[in-house]
Structure 1
Amino acid sequence: MLQRLGEERQLKGMMLPDKDWQTHRHRLLNLQHLQNDIQKLKNRISELSFHPQPDDLSVMMIEDQLELLQRQQKQLEEKVTQELPQNYQKQLVYGVSVKGIGKKTATFLLLFTQGLFFSQGVG
């Protein structure tokens, strides 16, 4: 039945986004996961601070993990903003011209929407 439906309606195949866009999308998703993990670790540290006798080793290990994830987050944010596709550069200028939107936010909006968000330009 599916084959017949496809033949009758002449359905077009789906086009995957280009490899560069997929790479940026994966990096943004990884960044989102890092941010979630960082918040979880901060919550654990906060939870331990209310304990009358927190285990120093546990606190130290969590703080070390937090520091590592924060370094990775910074590295990934820099990579994403530095390696913005050339065709998004003009749109980035439009994006940062919007009050309250910086380079990082504009970059993420461009990548998540594949350039649609600032495609008309904002004055």
Structure 2
Amino acid sequence: MDGQELQKIAGDYAAGFPGTGLERRSGPDWHLYKVRGKVFMLMTDMPGRPVVILKADPDDAAALREQYADITPGYHMNKRHWITLQGGGTVDGKLVKELVVDSYRLVVGGLPTSEQPVDPRTWTPARP
């Protein structure tokens, strides 16, 4: 999968999550996906490569970086808590969706209970 396809899958999937909003920033072009004002996914183009940046549990992030050549530390983010996905042969659409859900749940779990649009421990997207 190439980087543009990666961004399309991630963006289309996340757009329907409860409480999610999209903020666009220019110079460089960034798409920020937020839940209740907190970022859970970013998309931008690194030189020549469209990427998706997601929040991840630090232990999971380290394991993912070791297992997949196309997952690296978070670009312009905390390297322990964020990962960058880029197009290539090691990341498929199913993994992208799983990681988007994980990132969303982590951020929702950090919100005050009264602001959580879903229960992060039990919520799953309605569509595959």
Q: TM-score, normalised by structure 1?
A: 0.23
When you count strand as a share of all residues, which structure comes out higher? 2
Answer with 1 or 2: which has the greater Rg: 1
Structure having the larger proportion of residues in helix: 1
- State the TM-score, normalizing by the size of structure 2: 0.22
